[in-house]
Amino acid sequence: MLPKAHETVAPTHWAFGQLASIVGAPASYLRQLPAPLAGINLQYGLTNHRAEQVKTFETEDGRTELRAVTGPDYGRIHDHELVEAVQRIAGNGTGDTRWKVPGVLDWSTGVYNPDVEISRDTTTLYASDRDVFLFLVDDHNPIEAGRLPDGSPDLYFRGFYCWNSEVGAKTLGMASFYLRAVCQNRNLWGVEDFQEITIRHSKYAASRFAHEAAPALTRFANSSPQGFVNGIKAARQQIVARTDEDRDDFLRKRGFSKAESGKIIEKVLMEEGRPPESIFDFVQGITRLARDKTQQDARLDMEGRAKKLLDRVG
């Protein structure tokens, strides 16, 4: 029960960690205790907490849920404000503007269908107890960047993703990517005038985000794809490994563990039909491994590591 409150609150996993940190208790240990005992420890910590004021964020839907515990000056941007800002740019995400939830590739025919019915399995709109992510693409306007082994075009689509956390896990922001149709791998390629927009949580931040995001997306949508296509070509041509030892060394020197390196090489074998040799091959393996991450921020972190390889292609 929070000080001066009349009802108990049920903290989310995220809020529990914040609360434990504020009262100086180890969250990992408390989570292993029986709930009544963990509650007693937290209650004691709250009752004797004198260091500073805290700001709580609670929602009520049949019970009072504690969503966040932050410092008193934290400027909250609600997740629904980000969603509303994106809707002003991208409509309902089903094709009423050029930005929409991605379609899917039919593996039996090799045909990409941009107009599939959106379901829980195909959506790219995610929310959790700590953040929200939205991924939308322009898959009615494909970009051809080379050929696949069977001779068909290797198609990419412009896309962008947005993120926010109304509970203090991250800032509000947006970045661009190119989605590879054949495998749904996201390539976080630096784009002129639009690599990443981040806005700190403060008053009117959501409105400022919409004001900045709309022109950036318009420039991105109308920009020439030639720089991207040339970059893909250069990444394909830059051979960095020819033996198994080369491949493992290349990845290990870039901070990947032995287990990660093995999985990346395996992913390339599975999707490209041969072991990785070029920068492009390794990027595809890393971004494919990123798709296995269940948390979107973990996936983006892995994709960011692939982006560093692309950025060094000369």
Q: According to the model, what pLDDT value does residue 107 have?
A: 65
Q: How far apart are CA 247 and CA 251, in angstroms?
A: 6
**In the block, which residue shows the tokens 């322009």?**
138
Q: According to the model, what pLDDT value does residue 246 have?
A: 95
Q: According to the model, what pLDDT value does residue 16 have?
A: 93
**pTM for this one?**
0.81
Q: How far apart are CA 281 and CA 180, in angstroms?
A: 13
Q: According to the model, what pLDDT value does residue 237 have?
A: 93
Q: According to the model, what pLDDT value does residue 311 have?
A: 82
Q: How far apart are CA 214 and CA 166, in angstroms?
A: 22
Q: According to the model, what pLDDT value does residue 106 have?
A: 72
Cβ atoms of 79 and 89 within 8 Å: the answer is no
Could you tell me the two tokens for 18? 């914040």
Q: According to the model, what pLDDT value does residue 136 have?
A: 93
Question: What residue ranges do the domains of the chain occupy?
Answer: 10-70, 79-223, 234-311
User: Which residues of the chain have a pLDDT value below 50?
Assistant: 192-193
